[in-house]
Homo-oligomer: A and B are copies of this chain.
Amino acid sequence: MSQSLFTDLYELTMMAGYWRTGHAEDTATFDLFHRHAPRGVDLVVAAGLEPTLEWLEQLGFSDDDLLYLDSLDLFPDGFLDWLGDLRFTGEVWAMPEGTPVLPHEPILRVTAPLAQGQLVETALLNMVSYSSLVASTASQLVAVARGTPILEFGARRAHGPDGARTGSRAAYLGGCAATSNVVAAADYGVPPSGTQAHAWIMAFPDELTAFRAYADTFPHQTVLLVDTYDTVRSGVPHAITVGHELAASGHRLRGIRLDSGDLDALSRQARQMLDEAGLSDVQVLVSGDLDVARVRELVEADAPIDGFGVGTSLLTAREDPAFSGVYKLAEVEGRPALKVSGEPTKTTDPGRKQVWRTPEGDVLGLAHEDLAGTPLLEQVMAGGRRLRPAPDLAEQRARCLDRVAELRPHPERWTLRRSPELKALRRELLATHGHAEGA
């Protein structure tokens, strides 16, 4: 089956309905936006755009796909023939990956024939949501680490191999310095990181033998895991022995890694022991179930740590693993649409929109308005084709770090106002549904 079948069944049944009722080719605009920042994240960073555009460009159903759909005995006659010829021909406006984005601001705006715009909902939400979740968490970690590198170690706990790869990409985009995941490193040019696990230490008769074997194999790249038996009485002293042996042969020990216990106390003890042994250039790296709160604590306590390895909490977005992304119809055939909800904050914004960033905060307005500030949505696809090659990920990362550095110190600017014209349109449409604004 092709990846074009990656959609909820109801997207296909709705397409069939639009087709049958003559609405499939109506021009529709959909917004993909999020409703609130994930718990534990203050500033959301948009991500996942490039994989999404790639998927859209390749959209098209194979013969196997169509045979499978036919086997469901569900769709009206003629629909699957029509579906077989379908390609994505729409236009996409989007926030560049790495842009800080506020709730209710479109991350993506899709204008396409209604049936196409509907079809792509599931995949777009899926791809933007997970990447944005991880990029935002990474950005938060980088902020609390205040310059100490964050290394992403989450492959084993991510949700599937592809989840791991996507997550590693997003973590780097959000500001991580490296990944443990080799396939992500290779595919996206992320620096790879890693040396040895407890299994290495246990595979040798004793810790010192294991350390020496590693140093012998990687004299230029040795970082030693010191907590397998007893960090202070065994691990660090053995690492110091190997550090001196490496120095005697013209090399140097790069670092030690603490993976358990009281990382604040242990990092201080290890730092002092290394310094007293003349190994003050040996780094102290820590890992072991770290998350934003734990990294913040260690940094605020001034623990002498040179790098944080963060895995599970980052790639599973453990604190809030579901991004509040939604994809809503905003306009059809030039007619603005909105979804009214019992909860006023869930009522959507009608019309084809743009977001302007200003020193006083963001403004959500209608795309044809001429407002002050920097427009955040850029056109990235026309007629179903990308308008530019995929940007270099390392450059995107650098831009993300810049944009976040600009905005993060100014929470007073993290506000979204609606333009008077958008407000008026919203009020008018709510009135036709018998709702007063805010009711």
Contact-residue size bin, chain A (C-beta under 8 Å from the other chain): 35 or more
CB distance from A53 to the nearest CB of B (A): 14
Select which of B68, B127, B186, B332 is within 8 A of A161 by beta carbon.
Answer: B127
Mark the stretch among A116-124, A268-276, A385-393, A407-415 that contacts chain B: A116-124
Please state the number of chain copies in the assembly.
2
The answer, yes or no, to whether A114 is at the interface (CB within 8 Å) is yes
The answer, yes or no, to whether A58 is at the interface (CB within 8 Å) is no
- Interface mask (A179-192 → B, CB under 8 Å = 1, otherwise 0): 01111011100001
Residues of B within 8 A of A193 (CB): 9
The answer, yes or no, to whether A165 is at the interface (CB within 8 Å) is yes
**Is the beta-carbon distance between A28 and B157 smaller than 8 angstroms?**
no
Task: Give complex CA distance A159, B169 in Å.
Answer: 13
**Is the beta-carbon distance between B164 and A328 smaller than 8 angstroms?**
no
Residues of B within 8 A of A158 (CB): 126, 130, 159
CB distance from A244 to the nearest CB of B (A): 20
CB distance from A210 to the nearest CB of B (A): 9
Q: In the complex, what residue of chain B is closest to A4 when comparing beta carbons?
A: B183
Select which of B7, B17, B199 is within 8 A of A218 by beta carbon.
Answer: B17
CB distance from A403 to the nearest CB of B (A): 24
Q: In the complex, what residue of chain B is closest to A23 when comparing beta carbons?
A: B203
CB distance from A144 to the nearest CB of B (A): 20
**Is the beta-carbon distance between B21 and A217 smaller than 8 angstroms?**
yes
Interface residues of A in 92-130 (CB under 8 A from B): 114, 118, 121-123, 125-127, 129-130
CB distance from A160 to the nearest CB of B (A): 4
Residues of B within 8 A of A123 (CB): 161
Residues of B within 8 A of A21 (CB): 213, 216-217
The answer, yes or no, to whether A146 is at the interface (CB within 8 Å) is no
**Is the beta-carbon distance between A202 and B126 smaller than 8 angstroms?**
no
Which of A1, A118, A161 has the most B CB atoms < 10 Å from its CB? A161
Interface residues of A in 1-35 (CB under 8 A from B): 1, 3, 5-14, 16-18, 20-21, 23, 26, 28, 30
Interface residues of A in 148-163 (CB under 8 A from B): 153, 155-163
Mark the stretch among A333-341, A354-362, A370-378 that contacts chain B: A333-341
The answer, yes or no, to whether A420 is at the interface (CB within 8 Å) is no
Residues of B within 8 A of A332 (CB): 202-203
**Is the beta-carbon distance between B322 and A198 smaller than 8 angstroms?**
no
Residues of B within 8 A of A342 (CB): 260-261
**Is the beta-carbon distance between A13 and B126 smaller than 8 angstroms?**
no
Residues of B within 8 A of A337 (CB): 202-203
Task: Give complex CA distance A433, B202 in Å.
Answer: 12
**Is the beta-carbon distance between B17 and A217 smaller than 8 angstroms?**
yes
**Is the beta-carbon distance between B323 and A180 smaller than 8 angstroms?**
no
Mark the stretch among A245-253, A297-305, A311-319 that contacts chain B: A311-319
Contact A341/B72 with A158-B126, A194-B10 known, Cβ cut-off 8 Å: no
**Is the beta-carbon distance between A114 and B316 smaller than 8 angstroms?**
no
**Is the beta-carbon distance between B200 and A156 smaller than 8 angstroms?**
no
Residues of B within 8 A of A28 (CB): 203
Residues of B within 8 A of A136 (CB): none
Q: In the complex, what residue of chain B is closest to A179 when comparing beta carbons?
A: B9
Task: Give complex CA distance A313, B214 in Å.
Answer: 43
**Is the beta-carbon distance between B122 and A156 smaller than 8 angstroms?**
yes
Select which of B5, B16, B340, B433 is within 8 A of A186 by beta carbon.
Answer: B5
22 pairs, A vs B, C-beta closer than 8 Å: A7-B183, A8-B156, A10-B195, A10-B197, A11-B197, A17-B217, A20-B213, A55-B161, A74-B218, A76-B218, A121-B197, A122-B156, A122-B180, A126-B161, A129-B156, A130-B159, A198-B328, A202-B332, A203-B329, A228-B339, A317-B321, A321-B321
The 6 closest A-B pairs by CB, nearest first: A162-B162, A9-B194, A10-B194, A159-B159, A125-B156, A5-B183
